[in-house]
Structure 1
Amino acid sequence: MTKTPNPLSVLAADPQGRSLGLALPPGTVIDGPGRRFARRSPLVWVSDEPVGPGALAVHRGPAGAAGLQAVLFQGRRGLESWWTRGELRPREMSAPDDHHVEPVLRAYWAGVVPDPEEGAEGAELIAPFGREWPGLAEPGVPDGDPEEQAVARADELIREGVLPSPRLALIPAARGADAPTAMGWRGPLNHENDTARVSTVLRSWEDRYGARVLALGFDELHLSVAAPPATRAAALPVAAEHFAFCPDNVWQGSGSVHAYADEAVVGARTWGFWWD
């Protein structure tokens, strides 16, 4: 079987990617833990300087046609260029095709729900659900093109200061949900050390809610949502999935699944996750 060439390899000799139909700003190709491109397995291309609103709108379509997923990388104080610090470990990941969303989320739920000994306080945290996994939430109906909404939401996150100095990043992957696994991102390490399982959930949200990966930080993930739940009743099962996927959003955020549904899911056009 002929192996499909990694399109990032082209950028070593063609930095602006013109042969791929791109017109990139100056950037660097990273091939492994913290190293610049030196072998034949580049993981990600990252712009050398921050980009502003409109960057994804310009580059996302051409990048997709070249077999690359365009997203934003955001650093934070002390971790301004986390993608160069040996944090990318694709060889430690399985493949998203190895997993199914229902058992992945069921296992996450079982690992984060309170013990019965916690009594009323623990029950209140996950109400109206119990310790048994409640099942997948019903899909939504996008009210517009998910890709168009994705670039609009990305611009909003930049303007609102959620992403104050993002870099443009290109990752070789067939779909956005697979990009974190393809590059070996380890943001949820304290909750999940196999990012392929994270991508499995992201694939399902792509399909059910028109979600798209917008940005990655050291331990943060931002998605656009084209079909957000419009009511509390529809949002609660989605909030349960979020709690299973990223419990810190509730434990160190809203304080309960019910409050989280009201604050972060009903009508929300972006979903943000962070793992402590």
Structure 2
Amino acid sequence: MAKSSKARSALSVLVDDPQGRSLGLELASGVLIDRPGRRGWWREPEPLLWVSDDVVGVGALAAYRSSALAAAGLQAVLLQERRGLERWWQDRELVPDRMSDPGDHHVEPVLREFWSRVVPDPEEGEGEEGAGLIAPFGRDWPGLAEPGPGSGPGPEGGPDPEVVACALGDELIESGFLPSPRLALIPAGRGADVPTAMGWGGPTNHENDTALISAVLRSWEDRFGARVVALGFDELHVSVAAPPRTVAHALPVAAEHFAFSPDNIWQGSGSIRAYADEAVTGSDHWGFWWD
């Protein structure tokens, strides 16, 4: 995926200014992880992301998720280790050159294709049980959900999505849901593009071009005030400023989630209907994982 020179130069500043003071930051110690690829005298390393050396606590996102930082082309998120995969971001797990551009994809065709891959097939013996899993929908793609209440601009808009994102980050840290989070800065034009820009491969067993994941996240940003808050090796945590308030509205959102991350339902709630009630209606935290 092509990166703008503005995004590249913003992270490259940290080579000579490790605390980021020229960007209005006061970073603790951290490491710059270079974009993978061939190296030689003719090609200088290109920083892919910056990650703090130490675990961060409550307030970390609020301190760095600013409009000034975003204007400089950097997005702040949390990265979470996994047992056996500590500091997975340093172990050649990131492959940005494999990803396409999120802007080349449209959300509805992406989700329709995802749905077609995961919807139960009665010809493979997934009849009655499969129908119950996706009820009240059938095998045809049900279409995009309506935007969340107060998700649009104007005086009647809902909570500030960035405030909600920082609050969720604090909640995940305080509760121990993220027991060892690191602060990361990634060059990306918007938060939804962070997984693609860093070459994250968490959904590889479902989709190995993370740009399609970002295309869906872009749409959720617009429709539900969603923001990427944290990533693990194969987990993604998103804040939601304008979630559905009724189960009727949540059901088509749950269908999108099933297409996006089927393990949430296959190995979680067990059905779209139960998932809509448990994990979507009124929830300001959408968590996803891929087995």
TM-score normalised over the length of structure 2 = 0.91
Deviations 1:182-237 (A, max 9, x none): 11011000000000000000000000000000000000000000001111100000
For residue 154 of structure 2, what is the aligned residue in structure 1? none
Cα offset, 1:33, TM superposition: 4.2
- The corresponding residue for 1:162 is 177
From the superposition, tell whether residues 253 and 34 of structure 1 become closer, same or farther in structure 2 (CA, over 3 Å): farther
**RMSD of the alignment, in Å?**
1.5
Distance, in Å, in 1 between the alignment partners of 2:191 and 2:5 is 21
Gaps of 5+ in 1: none
Shift, 1:48, TM fit: 0.2
Q: Which amino acid aligns with 1:120?
A: E
Q: Aligned residue for 1:138?
A: 146
Aligned residue among 129, 148, 165 for 1:121: 129
Instruction: Determine if the alignment matches structure 1 residue 95 to structure 2 residue 110.
Output: no
SS in 2 for 1:207: helix
Q: Distance in 1 between matches of 2:118 and 2:228?
A: 24
* Structure-1 separation of matches of 2:48 and 2:254: 32
CA shift, 1:67, in A, is 1.4
Whole-Å Cα distance in 2 between the matches of residues 41 and 32 of structure 1? 6
Deviations 1:250-269 (A, max 9, x none): 00000111111011001101
Q: What's the offset of the Cα at 1:32?
A: 2.8
- Aligned partners of 1:43 and 1:171 also within 8 Å: yes
Question: Which residue of the partner structure matches residue 29 of structure 1?
Answer: 32
Report the equivalent of 2:275: 260
**Aligned residue for 2:213?**
198
Greater alpha carbon shift after TM alignment, 233-242 vs 117-126: 117-126
Look up the SS of the partner of 2:47 in the other structure.
coil
1:16 aligns with 2:19: yes
AA of the residue aligned to 2:44: R
Q: Per-residue CA shift, 1:40-80, capped at 9, x if unaligned?
A: 32110000000001000011114323210000000111111
Matched, 1:58 2:63: yes
CA distance in 2, matches of 1:241, 1:12: 41
Structure 2 residue corresponding to 1:69, chosen from 75, 90, 96: 75
* 1:113, distance to aligned residue in structure 2 (A): 0.2
Separation in 1 of the partners of 2:53 and 2:114?
37
Give the AA of the match of 1:95. D
AA at the equivalent of 2:134: I
Match of 1:229 in 2: 244
Structure 2: gaps spanning 5 or more residues: 152-157
Q: Which residue of 2 aligns with 1:186?
A: 201
Q: Give the deviation of 1:6 after TM superposition.
A: 2.8
Query: Does the 8 Å contact 1:63/1:170 carry over to 2?
Result: no
Q: Deviations over 1:134-166 (max 9, x none)?
A: 000000124211111110111001111111110
CA–CA distance in structure 1, aligned partners of residues 60 and 36 of structure 2: 26
8 A Cα contact 1:34 1:85, kept in partner: no
Identity of aligned pairs, percent?
A: 71
Q: Structure 1 stretches (4+) deviating beyond 4 angstroms?
A: none
2:120 and 2:210 map into 1 onto residues whose CA distance is 24
Is the 2:99–2:211 contact (alpha carbons within 8 Å) kept by the matching residues of 1? yes
Question: Residues 34 and 86 of structure 1 are in contact (CA less than 8 Å); yes or no, is this contact kept in structure 2?
Answer: no
Paired with 2:135 and 2:54, the residues of 1 have a C-alpha distance of 45
**Stretch of structure 1 that moved more, 199-208 or 144-153:** 144-153
Deviates more, 1:225-234 or 1:4-13: 4-13
**Paired residue secondary structure (1:133):** coil
The number of aligned residues is 273
State the one-letter code of the partner of 1:199: S
For 2:61 and 2:230, the matched residues in 1 are separated by 10
The answer as to whether partners of 1:33 and 1:87 remain within 8 angstroms in 2 is no
